[in-house]
Amino acid sequence: MIRTEGLTKKFGSFTAVEDLDLEVAEGEVYGFLGANGSGKTTTVRMLLGLVLATSGSVEIFGQQMPKHAGAVLPEIGALVEGPAAYGHLHGRANLAVLDASGPRGGRRSRKRRIEDVLDKVGLGGIDRRPVRTYSLGMRQRLGLAAALLNEPRLLVLDEPTNGLDPQGIREIRDLINELHAAGTTIMMLSHQLAEVEQVCGRVGVLDRGRLVLQQDLAELRKPTGRFVVTTPDVAQVRTILGQRVEGDVPGGLLVAATDAAELNRALVSAGVRVQGLVAEQRRLEDLVLAATSAGADRIDR
């Protein structure tokens, strides 16, 4: 669906994106992660043909970009760098303007399409007040409605839950899952790692313009071969297990083991009060922090 090779963008002497080999498969939800200033938005702008690459190539739907932008872009819905709108118009009027210029534009079905996407993003009941009076969350929902208007094959979303309350975040998460189930490919830029873990199947991590990690999330988060043992008998466990104890955790210990039942049986039979025993899994936050340097927008002395 999306493939880049050696994609590089320089602004004078500054390299914003360097030698990027990105792969987004058809039908997947891909989380594109990185600190502020890491090059995520510049990458997406190159994908969409809004910024020309210094070197390298971009291919979407098997066609080179931006050479075939006229055929490719109508199949893409995008919400990038915040929602754009005509502030003096109401929400439905904004969508009508976009629909009229879209590939599926047509006055007979326009009203139905607009109402459908407004319902999907939770704005079905909006009135005729101008968009400039909308809250940030409402603007975000309207931007998402605009991205969905032409039933895109590929959806590119930059922080789609920005400005939303917890209920709104869950609604957008459910919508992303629904679109994914219907076959839409989704590329999501986000700082909300908890949301990424719930909706994305694969992630790519950008650090100072370079792709430092790209892998299936399930593979990244597979069990580590260690267990968290919660017990008040910490000293006793250390005596019993010796070098198998690899560290301390709140309320217990981190223990190397291959079989939870065998570990539990050994401890209980020795009189240890086991209050909890769970397999340790890698957290996405830890993986991202390990793969990246300090935030790109940080300035140290």
Asked if residue 194 and residue 69 are part of one domain, the reply reads: yes
Asked if residue 124 and residue 24 are part of one domain, the reply reads: yes
Q: pLDDT tens across 228-268, in order?
A: 999 999 999 999 999 999 999 999 999 999 999 999 999 99
What is each CA distance from 192 to 35, 213, 280, in whole angstroms? 11, 17, 22
pLDDT at 295: 53
pLDDT at 297: 53
Within-domain flag for 288: no
pLDDT at 298: 45
Contact status, residue 43 vs residue 80, Cβ threshold 8 Å: no
Residue 177's pLDDT band, with cuts at 50, 70 and 90, is very high
Asked if residue 192 and residue 47 are part of one domain, the reply reads: yes
Within-domain flag for 193: yes
Asked if residue 181 and residue 253 are part of one domain, the reply reads: no
Asked if residue 258 and residue 154 are part of one domain, the reply reads: no
pTM: 0.82
Asked if residue 247 and residue 207 are part of one domain, the reply reads: no
Which of 204, 220, 236 is where one domain is finished? 220
Asked if residue 235 and residue 107 are part of one domain, the reply reads: no
Residues 259, 255: Cα–Cα separation, whole Å? 11
Within-domain flag for 286: no
CA 255 to chain centre: 32
Within-domain flag for 292: no
Q: pLDDT tens across 206-219, in order?
A: 999 999 999 999 88
Rounded to 5°, the CA angle 79-137-158 comes to 25
Within-domain flag for 298: no
- Percent of the chain residues topping a pLDDT of 90: 65
Within-domain flag for 230: yes
Asked if residue 260 and residue 126 are part of one domain, the reply reads: no
DSSP 134-169: S-HHHHHHHHHHHHHTT--SEEEEESTTTT--HHHH
**CATH code: domain of residue 275:** 3.30.70
Its domain, for residue 180, covers: 2-220
First to last CA, the chain: 43
Packing angle between helix 136-148 and helix 91-100, nearest 10 degrees? Answer: 20
Residues 109, 101: Cα–Cα separation, whole Å? 14
Within-domain flag for 42: yes
Q: Output phi, psi for 71, to 5 deg.
A: -90, -30
**CATH code: domain of residue 193:** 3.40.50.300
Query: Half-sphere exposure (CA, 13 Å, Cβ side) for 49?
Result: 15
The tally of domains found in the chain comes to 2
